[in-house]
A and B are shown apart, each in its own frame.
Chain A
Amino acid sequence: MWVKLAFKLFSREFRRGELTIIFSAIALAVLTVFSLSSITERISLNIAQKSSDFIAGDRRLSSNHAFDQQVLTQAKQFGLKTAKMLYFDSMLFANDELVLGSVKATTATYPLRGKVTIKDNLTGLDYEVDSGPKAGNVWLSEGLFYTLNVKVGDTVELGAGNFQVSKVLVKEPDAPFFSLSGNKRVLLSYADIPTTQAVQAGSRVFHRLLFAGNEQQLSDYYGWLKPQLKSNQTWEGIKDRQSPLGNNLDRAERFLLLAGLFGIMLAAVAMAVSAKRYCERQYDPVAMMKTLGGSRKVIRNIFLLHLSLVTSFSIVAGLLIGFILQTLGADYLATFMGTALPQAGIRPWLLSSLIGLVCAMMFSLKPLLDLFDIPPLRVLRRNLGDTLAVSRIHLALSFMTIFVLMWIFSGEIVTTLILFASTLLVIGVLFVISRLLFSAGRKLGLRPGSSWSLAIATLQKRANANAIQLISFALAIKLMLFLVVLKNDIITDWQMQVPQGAPNMFIINISEQEVEPIKQFFTDNNIVHEAFYPVFSGRVDAVNGEEFARRVSKQEGEEKDEDAREGVSREPNLTWLEDLPEGNEITAGQWFTDAGTGGDDIEVSVFEGWQEVLGLELGDTITLLVNEQPIDAKVTSFRKVDWGTLKPNFVMILSPNMAGKVPVTYFSAAKLEDQHTKDISQLLQRHPTISMIDIKSQIEQAQSIIAQVSLAIGFVLSIVLVSGALVLISQVQASLAERMQEVVILRTLGAKSRLIKLATLYEFMLLGAIAGLVAAIVSDIALLVIQQQLFDIAGRLHPYIWLLGPVSGALFVSSIGYFMVANTMRQNTQGLLRKLG
């Protein structure tokens, strides 16, 4: 039976190292995909969990009407944890002071994600707790302690009830980034709502339900909920929020996806090269077997069994190494993040095994078919079946396979197409360049016998093989350069969002009379601050005289609609400004004209996200209801707003001639240092009606997430770099085996080791430098496109990689080549001859 022979041949081939490269390539593909996808999944899960803290749950449902009981009952049936919240404004009274507070009443399960930060007294230390106050107690934000002149333990009147002030409320996980609701926040137990009697029929309240559970439960529940969502109800998750965090998470995920795709491409290149090489090395044994009477069927069975065995072993090895690698990586990341990463599911196991299998089958198919077709006559004509050029079918199959693998991994056809098409273009350009370079080299008249002339002669002689090698070198270098540069750009961009010296405190509710004294106070105390913006609320009531019918999308994931819906259904904060704010860009129309700034007609510049939802066009007239007073404004421009900056942004900016038409308060931002704490207490005591919103913790939170994601990206990048290095090594190794014969001939003819070593060094140096240069140019062009299309970062060129590419390429490739040739040189000529035999 052929099986026994097949196993015998397999074990020998394995031991001789003939299968090592093909084994390594499949294992590399599997371990790359496994470690990348599981690390990515674990980090994504962790980030999602952390991000969920920002809404205190995984999803939330909001409305200004009470929810049906069934909404909650059903959520519990789907296995979700829930919490109820109610927002309303109510008067607080203590020590003869009366103030309007923003009350949030929560059930005991709040927050479902994240913690509430409190202090035992104003001078105490912050600490975190898992729930809100117990019935009968309230927690007040610091500002209220000053305005009401109370301390912990005192009693305040809230609506019709009396409550004991038990803690200082420092931060709730779901406190909004840019809420102008003030720092007069009150946290109350949901059970105490009736006691306050503040919520009556017709009261202005806001209901919110929080949900937490796994993605499947949440998706199942949403499936049930979706058909019955009402137009006044909003369902959202962390990604639906237009916040710096949401944008950063999106970018991080895109980067990780891109890195994974590149990892697959690199592993695929290694696999394609090694499968072809392995099959070519089997040409002689197969020709011999056929000559000795082996049937095609038996030979086919033997090699298919070999492929199955090596595939199985390498997949298992890849999974094992990948598992160890990702465990080490996750542990390492966990120590930095100070939190254990959640375990990944079964997807990385299945995905990486599938990719290993597809890799093995598709890249081996054509080389194996060629192998089965090797004529027995090769035993007499040794070069029969040798083809320097790669067959078109093999190329087509390889490209198709890479495309399918990328698609399977990403699940995104557009990203896959962009990357695939650009890679094809790179290959085409490289092939032409390499042929031109190698043929141009012929004209260089170099002294015979020198290492350089030998190097160039070798390059020319292998023009085709070199072109292929150059392409794979360049691809590997390109992918590595690309990711390194992209990583730096993304992180720089993130860091720019939270620059040193950015304001960390918002000051709101400043009356017109208070503007000058507060400005003076800031100057006296050396506090850096921003401009004072006039702020007022208004509701879009009509467009061109027609009352605006609110259109609400119920689709989850339609981000623009989701964001806009929230915006449309609430009263946005409006301002008037003379100059276009930083981070804004006019996309249509023009910024306020002289008529707008001086005339009677009021103009408005609208955030482009609202343009679609409201169905606005330039020249339309919007009617805004400000304190029930209608104000008509003509739309003269649409703006792109960079929500990624930690700066105040406005969906509508009116022309400066609005001044004096509506009552306003002012808003500013300042950068406060620790030494200003006392001054700020003074300021609050002097101006008790102003509110300060401390966004220091939000900035710190954003910075911590950025740091975490940067670390994750760095880790993933290092895996891809290792894959890239392995591809380069396997390429050099593959070509070196082919060079052995020449080395033997040159040695036999008396060439000195030094000449051969230097020739190889120069040859690889040239190859590496050309590959590196082309890789750098192509990476930079691809980066321009990718940064703008996928990452929304302003594209720019990176001249330093134009030098880094060729230098690192030449150094890396030549040092591996030199090391390997030097190793070969240590064997005597007879030993080398035997090996070739």
Chain B
Amino acid sequence: MSVLSQLNVIQVSSLTKRVSTLEGSLTILSDINFSVKSGESVAIVGASGSGKSTLLSLLAGLDVASEGDVHLDGEALSTLDEEARARVRAQKIGFVFQSFMLVQSLTALENVMLPAELAGDHDAKDQAIELLDKVGLSHRLEHYPSQLSGGEQQRVAIARAFIGSPKILFADEPSANLDSKNGHLIETLLFDLNKQNGTTLVLVTHDEQLAKKCQRIIHIEGGQLEKISEGAAANVG
């Protein structure tokens, strides 16, 4: 393994995704190549239907590529089965979704503890409380998702994403479902926590302003990598 690949926590090479439709095969992503360094923040931007969410699903091992590969912290995802990919996610990845994706039957605290519990770690309560405190929800520990506002639910999701100190954090349109005030709050929280934890952040968004907060911006257009540009945070830390 080269020094370069050790620094690159995500290495994408010749990544292609095709799906079968009634009209025949449809190429959603074609020959994508890029890498992300450890601790870097990268935004994937593009219009609706450009393939950015598909790219995120392949990066996180939620789906498998038709061709090419993704190396995640040195592990080639194409060589792993679903169980092994789940294990990689459990050990190295945190997620924040547009629709929060909280388990409705668990409280805020339990939702945050869920990834740790699934990994067999039952001593994550202190860490979960600390994380909820950091996102300003220490007074809402025992509330269920239906008792929380959208902004609060997304803060719980962010706390959940950081439990177990993942190496990489994938965020899919984290503020798209929120009003601008709450959206900004969430974005700030996400970047602050990311910086504090030294996590690599991969953010999917169609919001150019949000993308600019990242160090690099990967532009996807019609399933192809159009360009990679530097964001406003490129020279920061």
* Residues of chain A having any CB pair with chain B under 8 Å: 1-2, 4-5, 8-9, 12-13, 16, 18, 284-285, 288-298, 375-377, 379-382, 834-835, 837
Contact = CB atoms under 8 A, between A and B. Distances in A.
B56 interface: yes
A293 B101 contact: no
B90 A292 contact: yes
B105 A9 contact: yes
A290 B53 contact: no
The CB with the most chain B CB atoms within 10 A, among A2, A16, A18, A376, is that of: A376
Contacts of B95: 291-292, 379
Interface residues of B, number: 37
Given A380-B56, A834-B146, A293 B105 contact: no
Nearest to A9: B105
B97 A379 contact: yes
B117 interface: yes
Contacts of A377: 57, 62-63
Given A4-B122, A377-B62, A294 B86 contact: yes
Interface in B66-92: 82-83, 86-91
A293 B118 contact: yes
Given A13-B105, A285-B105, A289-B114, 8 more contacts: A9-B103, A12-B105, A12-B106, A291-B60, A293-B115, A295-B83, A295-B86, A382-B99
B90 A837 contact: no
A293 B170 CA distance: 14
A382 B97 CA distance: 12
A380 B53 contact: yes
A295 B120 CA distance: 11
Given A293-B118, A294-B90, A376 B62 contact: yes
Nearest to A281: B104
A290 B62 CA distance: 9
Contact of A296 (B83, B106, B120, B145): B83
A296 B86 contact: yes
A293 B83 contact: no
B110 interface: yes
Contacts of B114: 5, 289, 292
Contacts of B91: 293
B40 interface: no
15 contacts: A1-B122, A4-B122, A5-B114, A8-B106, A18-B105, A285-B104, A291-B62, A293-B86, A293-B88, A294-B86, A296-B86, A376-B62, A377-B57, A380-B56, A837-B104
A301 to B, nearest CB: 11
A8 B57 CA distance: 30
The CB with the most chain A CB atoms within 10 A, among B57, B82, B83, B118, is that of: B118
B172 interface: yes
B146 A380 contact: no
Nearest to A297: B83
B58 to A, nearest CB: 10
Given A379-B97, A380-B62, A1 B86 contact: no
A778 to B, nearest CB: 37
B117 A4 contact: yes
Which 9 residue pairs of A and B lie closest in terms of their CB atoms, listed nearest first?
A293-B90, A12-B105, A294-B118, A292-B115, A293-B89, A377-B62, A376-B62, A5-B117, A285-B103
B62 A298 contact: no
Contacts of A835: 146
B101 A379 contact: yes
A291 B60 CA distance: 9
Interface in B46-70: 53, 56-57, 60, 62-63
B105 A379 contact: no
Contact of A288 (B90, B103, B119): B103
Contacts of B100: 837
A291 B100 CA distance: 13
Given A298-B118, A837-B146, A284 B101 contact: yes
A377 B89 CA distance: 13
A16 B57 contact: no
Contacts of B82: 296, 376
A293 B97 CA distance: 15
B148 to A, nearest CB: 9
Q: Chain A interface secondary structure, helix, strand, loop or mixed? A: helix
B145 A837 contact: yes
A380 B83 contact: no
A295 B88 CA distance: 11
A4 B124 CA distance: 14
Interface string B104-137: 1110001000110111101000000000000000
Contact of B86 (A5, A284, A285, A290): A290
Contacts of A289: 103, 114, 118
A16 B104 contact: yes
B144 to A, nearest CB: 9
Contacts of A837: 99-100, 104, 145-146, 153
A834 B104 CA distance: 11
Contacts of B115: 292-293
A837 B62 CA distance: 22
B110 A8 contact: yes
A379 B110 contact: no
B17 to A, nearest CB: 11
Given A1-B120, A284-B101, A379-B97, A291 B106 contact: no
The CB with the most chain B CB atoms within 10 A, among A18, A285, A293, A377, is that of: A293
B204 to A, nearest CB: 9
Contacts of B90: 292-294
Contacts of A298: 118
A16 B88 CA distance: 32
A12 B104 CA distance: 9
Nearest to B89: A293
B172 A292 contact: no
Contacts of B117: 2, 4-5
The CB with the most chain B CB atoms within 10 A, among A290, A377, A379, A380, is that of: A380
B189 to A, nearest CB: 19
A379 B63 CA distance: 11
B57 A288 contact: no
Nearest to B84: A295
A3 to B, nearest CB: 11
Contact of A376 (B86, B104, B160): B86
Interface string B179-199: 000000000000000000000
A13 B104 CA distance: 9
B89 A292 contact: yes
A293 B119 contact: yes
Contacts of B93: 293
Contacts of A293: 86-91, 93, 115, 118-119
A834 B147 CA distance: 8
A189 to B, nearest CB: 78
A293 B61 CA distance: 11
A288 B153 CA distance: 15
Nearest to B153: A837
A810 to B, nearest CB: 35
B19 to A, nearest CB: 11
A835 B122 CA distance: 30
Nearest to A287: B101
Contacts of A380: 53, 56-57, 62, 97, 172
A289 to B, nearest CB: 6
Contacts of A285: 103-105
Contacts of B101: 284, 288, 291, 379
The CB with the most chain A CB atoms within 10 A, among B83, B88, B99, B105, is that of: B105
B98 to A, nearest CB: 9
Contacts of A4: 117, 122
Contacts of B105: 9, 12-13, 16, 18, 285
Contacts of A297: 83
Contacts of A12: 105-106
A108 B6 CA distance: 104
A2 to B, nearest CB: 8
Contacts of A292: 89-90, 95, 114-115, 118, 160
Contacts of A1: 120, 122
